[in-house]
Amino acid sequence: MRLNIVHPGSEELKYEIRDIVKFANKLEQTGLNITWENIGDPVSKGEEVPLWAREIVAEAASEGSASYKYSPTKGMTKAREFLSVARSRETGVNLSAENILFFNGLGDAINKVYTWLNPSARILGPNPAYPTHSSLEGAHGSSAMLTYKLDPLNNWYPDVNEIRYKVRSNPNIAGLLIINPDNPTGMVYPRKILKEFVKIAQEYELFLIADEIYANMAYESSDFVSLASLADGVPTVIMRGLSKEVPWPGSRCGWVEFYNTDTDENFALYAGSIENAKMTEVCSTSLPQTVLPTILSDPRYPKHLSARLARYERRGRRAVEILGSHPSLHVVMPRGAFYLSVTFSEEFILKPLNIPAANPEAQKLLNAELAAIHEADFDKRFCYQLLGATGICVVPLSTGFNSYVPGFRMTLLETNDNKFAETLRTIAAIIPG
Ligand SMILES: Cc1ncc(COP(=O)(O)O)c(C=O)c1O
């Protein structure tokens, strides 16, 4: 090539959640049954989208032209008006329909929010974190995302002093990110900590980003509160979507809410630039927006959500019971979403790890994979060995979620209770105590 055509940030683009699938697919060919615990897709794991919701979609698809034409760039007016009323009621803060912008899934929104930041402006985000944030923020800044630690020994809560220190010592930090409820830890930020984020943002003139795609997946006892209701004038971007809660990940439908664009001119310009970026693509998918008000306002919707949450909470307790009692493992009861992050004791990490694969062919494949995985990536080596031995496909925290602490993430999505308990027991049995 006459010029290097590779983007300097391209090395930051990682998505282990799907990368590990390549190895799992090869193992399947050796006769191993794979237990897919890697992806947060309730539908793939066998959850049914309720019939009444599918009927609403079918009706919209079969009639008229609304769902077949382009929508306005910001999104369907009725969907934005519906959200404006519903969200203003929920948070007690007025959200104009004009400040809502639809995307093709939150993945698309996250991409644009970082891509259209000034190249030198950086966002300080959680560690571990859902990799689309850490990858795309890192790619935007051409170096790894700056992070604050979530502490597994303190319910995965962050230390606000660390955040304050990092903001003070790095003038390029322009914003703070939270994922609430959090993926991969299932942590829900307490109100007190959210207020600290707001205070730091006020003190250093930062803006806030809250990925709240799991907002309606916060367990009842979690006391979840949307950052929008605490933002107190701070420019704030809230991210929401349909993927997890309907659940309808294939809809590719998410949206962003901009708060307090009137308090900072630069933030208003930034919000406008993201809308313009969307405009160059014309708009997002129309069908899910067409049915959004009908589905979300259906009287059956809250019952559908609470039944699902009760199941996740029950599975979370079961996981804590089985894995939490293992001397080499540490787990924190999730308070929202459908994930569990498991970390290892220091003794376990220091021991050599050698879990034999299920059959000679699988062993050959495993050896080839392990040869390419760095010795220091203990949790990745563990996940690949667990997969080769048992077919259980979980995601390493370090390479999968940009994590400083080794461990793995599994889901709480298995619909068969016996299989779920069996998976937990198999994991526990393979780890020396
Ligand atoms: C925290 C978080 N944000 C965003 C997304 C992306 O969601 P979407 O399906 O809307 O692209 C996910 C998907 O797993 C997620 O966990």
**Are the C-beta atoms of 227 and 210 separated by less than 8 Å?**
yes
Q: What residues does each domain of the chain span?
A: 10-47+302-430, 57-296
What pLDDT score does 433 carry? 73
H helix runs in 340-405, sequence order = 346-350, 360-371, 378-390, 397-401
Ligand 1 atom closest to Cα of 243?
A: 9
What pLDDT score does 8 carry? 83
**Are the C-beta atoms of 82 and 297 separated by less than 8 Å?**
yes
Ligand 1 atom closest to Cα of 253?
A: 10
**Are the C-beta atoms of 277 and 112 separated by less than 8 Å?**
yes
- 238 alpha carbon – ligand 1 mean position (Å): 13
Query: What percentage of the chain's residues is helix, strand, coil (to nearest 5)?
Result: 50, 15, 35
How many residues are listed for the chain in this entry? Answer: 433
Strands 146-151 and 122-127: parallel
Pocket test for ligand 1, best of 103, 243, 412 (most atoms within 8 A of CB): 243
Give the tens place of pLDDT for each residue, 67-106: 899 999 999 999 999 999 999 999 999 999 999 999 999 9
What pLDDT score does 5 carry? 87
- 103 alpha carbon – ligand 1 mean position (Å): 12
Give me the helix-helix angle, 191-204 and 160-169, nearest 10°: 10
Buried b (16+ CB within 10 A) or exposed e, 327-360: ebbbbbbbbbbbbbbbbbeeebeeeebebebbee
- 213 alpha carbon – ligand 1 mean position (Å): 7
The CATH code of domain 10-47+302-430 reads 3.90.1150.10
The edge-to-edge listing of strands for the beta sheet with 253-259 is 100-104, 253-259, 236-241, 207-211, 173-179, 122-127, 146-151, 157-158
Which candidate, 150, 143, 160, 159, places its Cα nearest to that of 127?
Answer: 150
H or E segment to which residue 91 belongs:
helix 77-91
- 148 alpha carbon – ligand 1 mean position (Å): 20
| Surface-to-core class of residue 237, CB atoms within 10 Å of its CB (0-12 exposed, 13-18 middle, 19+ buried) | buried
- 191 alpha carbon – ligand 1 mean position (Å): 23
Ligand 1 atom closest to Cα of 17?
A: 14
**Are the C-beta atoms of 39 and 18 separated by less than 8 Å?**
yes
Per-residue pLDDT of the chain (433 residues; tens, 9 = 90+): 998 888 888 887 777 777 889 999 999 999 999 999 998 999 999 999 999 999 999 999 998 778 899 999 999 999 999 999 999 999 999 999 999 999 999 999 999 999 999 999 999 999 999 999 999 999 999 999 999 999 999 999 999 999 999 999 999 999 999 999 999 999 999 999 999 999 999 999 999 999 999 999 999 999 999 999 999 999 999 999 999 999 999 999 999 999 999 999 999 999 999 999 999 999 999 999 999 999 999 999 999 999 999 999 999 999 999 999 999 999 999 999 999 999 999 999 988 899 999 999 999 999 999 999 998 899 999 999 999 999 999 999 999 999 999 999 999 999 999 999 999 999 999 997 7
- Please list, in sequence order, all residues whose beta carbon lies within 8 angstroms of the beta carbon of residue 59, skipping any fewer than 6 positions away: none
What's the start-to-end Cα distance of the chain, in Å? 54
- 182 alpha carbon – ligand 1 mean position (Å): 11
Give me the helix-helix angle, 286-296 and 51-62, nearest 10°: 130
- 129 alpha carbon – ligand 1 mean position (Å): 11
In this structure, what token pair is assigned to residue 89? 């009621």
- 106 alpha carbon – ligand 1 mean position (Å): 6
Residues with CB under 6 A from ligand 1: 40, 105-107, 130, 132, 179, 183, 211, 213, 241, 243, 249, 254
Task: Give me the torsion for CA of 303, 296, 136, 166, rounded to 10°.
Answer: -70
CATH architecture of 57-296: 3-Layer(aba) Sandwich (3.40)
What pLDDT score does 3 carry? 84
Ligand 1 atom closest to Cα of 103?
A: 10
Pocket test for ligand 1, best of 177, 213, 238, 248 (most atoms within 8 A of CB): 213
What pLDDT score does 17 carry? 75
The alpha carbon of residue 228 and the mean position of all alpha carbons in its chain are separated, in whole angstroms, by: 19
Does the fold of domain 57-296 match that of domain 10-47+302-430? no
Ligand 1 atom closest to Cα of 242?
A: 10
